[in-house]
Structure 1
Amino acid sequence: MNIHKNYNKKFMKNLNSQNNNHTVVQSAGNLTGSSETIRQLSSFKNDNRSSDIRASWFNPWLAGIIDGDGNFDLRKLNKKITLKAIRIKVHVRDVRILTKIQDMLHFGRVRYDKKNPYCTYIVSRQEHMRTVINLINGLIRLKAHSFKKACTFLNIMFRPADYTLKALDPYFAGLIDSDGTIVFNYQGNRIECVLELKLNEFSKQLNLDFVVPNYSPSVYHVRNGAIQFKYQRVNQMIFLYEYFIKNRLFCCMKFYRISKIKYFLTIRHYQKYAKHSLEFRIYASFLVDFIKYQNPKWPRVPFVKNLILDKEIVQNDKQ
């Protein structure tokens, strides 16, 4: 009986192997049919995987970028509103934002302005603009007025966005990548995240109380007609760090500063030590590194003059 069982197992194994080989031979033999089908199936799987990735973080992040630095180029032609292009303009320092978008979408072009330190990502083909509009529909908040006109031109039903951001929404990272700043408040001895927007009917609806878990911003109406959202509490800095570790920034300077929060919390009390102490030297070195990364104007920052560094540290900073 054991001999028969082993024989049957061996027979079924060989039969399965032959069936598998037969399938492979058929696919390879039909160069215009079966292999193309396999390629399409593979592409379909990859497209689904890419769609899942975009749906999870890219779409809301892109909406945040466009709400910050984007523009829907709407023009009136033959008495009709026409969408000519979708543009995103950033400083040359932040060109990685544009190349990331281009890599994810696989279309559009990045143009470098030789006269000004800016780069622009441009989508002008109608089928590509339609793709972008569909990806961010229901996510645009600050530029809803022009976005709605773009939807009308492309015959896409406009979906309004929820202005109360849910916890860990990547849209907030897109806004900070484009319009936000990560700054050091020397007097308060803390790292702050500040988002300043033009005050209008859309920005005043924006609710950021829940997007960074355990950390709601202070909201200010500024005299120049702007609204500011400030994350400026010492005890909650770690929550800001954790949000951006999960939703990373593609502005390298901002992400570099955010990445320093965890270490800073271990040395921030060194600010109160004597100016020539080792502790203050550690604090001063950290702060100079923090403020000068990708910032050629760092010596002009007012609090830098408060940092008394020895010759070795100053020499290293100059290098």
Structure 2
Amino acid sequence: QKWPLIKIKILLLHFAICEKYLKYILYTKNLINKFLNLNYVRGLYLNPIIVKIINYSFSAFAEIYGFAGRKYNSQVTKYYNFYNKVGTSETTREINNNLSLKEIHIINVEPLISFLNNIYLILINKLYILYNKIFNNILLLNLSLNNNNKIISNNKLLLNSSLNNNNKTSNNIWFNQWLAGLIDGNGYFGISKKGYPSCEITMNINDEKTLKIIQNKLGGSIKLRSGVKTLRWRLTNKEGMINLINIINGNIRNNKRLPQLYKVCDIFNIKVINPISLNINNGWFVGFFDAKGIITYIIKNDKPQLTISVINKYLNDIQPYMDILGGNIYFDKGNNGYYKWTIQNKEDIIRLYKIFIKSKSYKLHRIHLIFEYFKLIDLKAYNSIDPATVGGGENNELLYKSWIYFNKKWYKGYNYNLKI
């Protein structure tokens, strides 16, 4: 059955369009309706990619169904005034006849419509598949980035946790060394008549906070000793004593304390570890200083002289100070004789400041004032009010007041009578 002839009127555009893209569009009214009236192809001829696709589609149809017309130079644009071709330039230009209505007789248009519908469905399907691929790739990329961020975050947490654990371990080791030094200086391991072991630490009344630190970590009791301005921490329970021994074992080195530790360890069947080698960062130095140390100044040749010292009955108990920290040791005949390690040089004191600033006793109060002391000494603020002295008159008087104020801080609450 032949298809009926269809009479259609075509509104010619006033744009010059490349010939090979235009010559097949004028075959049918349905084609124009499909590609000009639908919203999604408005501006079709301005999109080179879509024009290329439509060109291939129309060319293929024309070859199959015999509608291919004469071929012209595709580089020359033509204006179709129905059957007559008029040469134009490469650019869009206005035509004398802006609008032209013509009639075209077309036979058998159904195959063209079916073919174009198939092309349209294929294009839509391809675009849908492409969209899904892009969307899925973006989704996978986001998931991958999120997973990487989680991995990085978890690694950071693990690293921070590891660093914190290392810091805690390092702090615990230093504390154990400090506690052993404190026990070597002011401690005592004893066994009661009933065979119960115990440990005691006696300190100045100003050092209650120091004993509280130990009590919070190990338990025990703190009591004021009658008749003297001292406090005593005492630990007697079995579990606490075993914990204490495990903490300080290998760090006790005092001539008196080490034999006492052996006796207590025999009761608990614990092997005593020989004292480890000391270095400048070992907390034992600070612990023994908190027990047997002194920081003070004396007037020598009309000038204050700052001294940091550690005293003990036995030379080998303070020998590590001179061997590792420097300074000097001399024997003092007073109080039945004792040995004293000292540093007086400004450079040595500043060099060892970073060690003694870790003190947990009330002596830390004076450690904090060391730099202020040296500043006032450099200014000679200690001189009496005399116009002839450095600065003279009113200026020197203000400096001297600064020295008086410094001394009030230096001696505030300070009452140390060391037991040798």
TM over 0.5: yes
Contact persistence 2:205–2:229 (CA under 8 A): yes
356, 372, 376: which one aligns with 1:244: 356
Counterpart residue number, 2:128: none
What displacement does 1:96 show?
A: 0.9
Runs (4+) off by over 6 Å? 10-15, 45-49
Within the candidate set 390, 401, 409, 1:289 is matched to: 409
- The amino acid across from 2:171 in the alignment is I
Alignment partner, residue 136 of structure 2: 4
- Aligned residue number for residue 18 of structure 1: none
* Bigger relative contact order (CA 8 A; separation at least 6): 1
Q: State which of 188, 201, 211 in structure 2 corresponds to 1:71.
A: 188
Q: Residue 232 of structure 1: CA displacement?
A: 1.8
Task: Look up the equivalent residue of 2:217 and give its one-letter code.
Answer: M
- What per-residue deviation string (whole Å, max 9, x for no partner) do you get for residues 286-319 of structure 1? 23431x211379xxxxxxxxxxxxxxxxxxxxxx
**Which of 208, 231, 237 is 2:321 aligned to?**
208
**What does residue 95 of structure 1 align with?**
208
Relative distance call for 1:271 and 1:13 in structure 2 (3 A) is closer
CA 1:296–1:12 in structure 2 vs 1: closer, same or farther (change >3 Å)? closer
Q: Deviation of residue 283 (structure 1)?
A: 2.8
CA deviations 1:138-183 (Å, max 9, x no partner) are: 1111111111222222211111214x63113211111111121111
What displacement does 1:47 show? 8.8
CA 1:86/1:11 → structure 2, altered by over 3 Å: closer, same or farther? same
Change (3 A) 1:133 1:10: same
Counterpart for residue 176 of structure 1: 289
Given candidates 329, 346, 359, the residue that maps to 1:219 is 329
SS at match of 1:132: helix
**d(CA) in 2 for partners of 1:199, 1:11:** 70
Q: Does 1:136 align with 2:248?
A: yes
Paired amino acid for 2:409: D
What's the C-alpha RMSD, in Å, of the aligned pairs? 3.1
Other structure's SS at 2:320 match: coil
Mapping 1:124-203, distance limit 5 Å: 124-142=236-254, 143-162=257-276, 165-187=278-300, 189-199=304-314, 202-203=316-317
Q: How many angstroms apart in 2 are the aligned matches of 1:262 and 1:13?
A: 53
Counterpart of 2:359 in structure 1: which amino acid?
A: L
- Deviations along 1:240-273, one digit per CA (max 9) or x if unpaired, are 322223xx22222x11111111122222131574
Provide the identity percentage: 23
Aligned counterpart, 2:365:
256
Q: Distance in 2 between matches of 1:138 and 1:275?
A: 55
Unaligned runs of 5+ in 1: 16-44, 298-319
Distance 2:225 2:181 in 1: 23
Instruction: Sort the Cα spacing of 1:13 and 1:266 in 2 relative to 1 into closer, same or farther, 3 A.
Output: closer
Q: Is the 8 A contact 2:252 2:258 kept in 1?
A: yes
> SS at 1:275's partner residue?
coil
Change (3 A) 1:165 1:185: farther
Separation in structure 2 between the aligned mates of residue 149 and residue 48 of structure 1, nearest angstrom: 34
Shift of 1:103: 2.4
Q: 1:46 to 1:71 in 2, by over 3 A?
A: farther
Distance 1:146 1:209 in 2: 26
Residues 186-234 of structure 1 show CA distances to partners (whole Å, capped at 9, x for unaligned) of 215232111111126x526x3213544xxx1210122223111112223
Q: Secondary structure at the match of 1:122?
A: strand
- 1:53 matched to which residue of 2? 171
Matched residues in 2 for 1:271 and 1:14: separation? 65
Question: CA 1:235–1:11 in structure 2 vs 1: closer, same or farther (change >3 Å)?
Answer: closer
In structure 2, C-alpha distance between the alignment counterparts of 1:84 and 1:46, rounded to whole Å: 35
Q: Confirm or deny that 1:266 pairs with 2:378.
A: no
Unaligned runs of 5+ in 2: 1-132, 148-162, 387-395
Letter in 2 for 1:53: N
Structure with higher Rg: it is: 2
Q: Secondary structure at the match of 2:352?
A: helix
